[in-house]
Structure 1
Amino acid sequence: MTTTSQSVQRTDYAVVSKPARIAGLVVTALVVLFLLFDSVIHLMNTSQVQDAMADLGFDPSLNRVIGAVLLISLVLYVVPVTSILGAVLITGYLGGAVATNMLTEQPILSTTLFPIYAGIFVWGGLYLRDAGVRAVMPLRRA
């Protein structure tokens, strides 16, 4: 028995209301602007970024590569067809930031956990604006 995409029924948790979609777009825009800034300053390889990366133990010549990886992930995140792939890649990028902060013994709440906060906004924005994500990760009520 075959089913077509037109015959698949959507459940309540997969429907995105207009206010939720707008909230998701706002959250997404904020997190994209922040990460875009981070990407651009890495691509520009400013002296402040070089110093900060050296303090974290990275070779400053990697700054442009790191910036390009984040920029590509952001582009994938912004394009609706590839948004989930972009969110997964950004999550990996942010996980590396958490690991680096832990290894260099940065302050927990302000620095080490900040990439986790950003990841929550990445997935929260996507959850609010994308019915497909809601279908895969539904919130269940007790």
Structure 2
Amino acid sequence: MQTLSQTSFVPKKLLWAGWIISALAVLFLAFDAIIKIIQHPEAMTATAQLGYAENLVFGIGLLELVCLVIYIISPTSVLGAILLTGYLGGAVATHVRAGSDLFSMLFPVIIGAMVWGGLWLRDNRLQTFIPWRR
């Protein structure tokens, strides 16, 4: 009997595609978290325009970075993806509430799809749990 904890072979092309997609999402999220943590003027202005107080920027960036680190660590990557989904859902809600343009509302959804898509491509347990049907 095979359980979800047992691993099997993931084709090399899928594995590479998964790592590349995940890396792109990680690079964007890391950049976003770091500019909030260092309180870069652009991050401060953008956050204020979305209706958040400037004293919250550091905490938001730190939360994003913690979720990202949990995602990067392989044994906890699914938990990290779940946490990032919540974080990115909050970003979508914030942009909807602020009346942002459509791209700003959809960009967190795209990043979330990259987080999960990259993980799905490189983790056969996730492929078993969420199968792709033709």
TM class, shorter-length: over 0.9
Which is higher, the Rg of structure 1 or of structure 2?
A: 1
- What TM-score do you get using the length of structure 2 for normalisation? 0.92
Structure 1: runs of 5 or more not aligned: 1-6
- Kindly report which structure 2 residues correspond to 1:1-142, keeping only aligned pairs within 5 A, or say none: 7-8=1-2, 15-108=9-102, 110-141=103-134
Which AA in structure 1 matches 2:110? Y
Aligned partners of 2:117, 2:15: CA distance in 1, in Å? Answer: 11
- Give identity over the alignment, percent: 42
Aligned partners of 2:90, 2:9: CA distance in 1, in Å? Answer: 33
Aligned partners of 2:125, 2:49: CA distance in 1, in Å? Answer: 41
Structure 1 residue runs of 4 or more that deviate by more than 3 Å after TM superposition: none
Deviation at 1:63, TM superposition (A): 0.9
Deviation at 1:49, TM superposition (A): 1.2
How many residue pairs get matched?
131
Could you give the per-residue CA deviations for residues 7-53 of structure 1, whole angstroms, max 9, x where no partner exists?
Answer: 5278xxx7421110011001111110010000000000112211111
Structure 2: runs of 5 or more not aligned: none
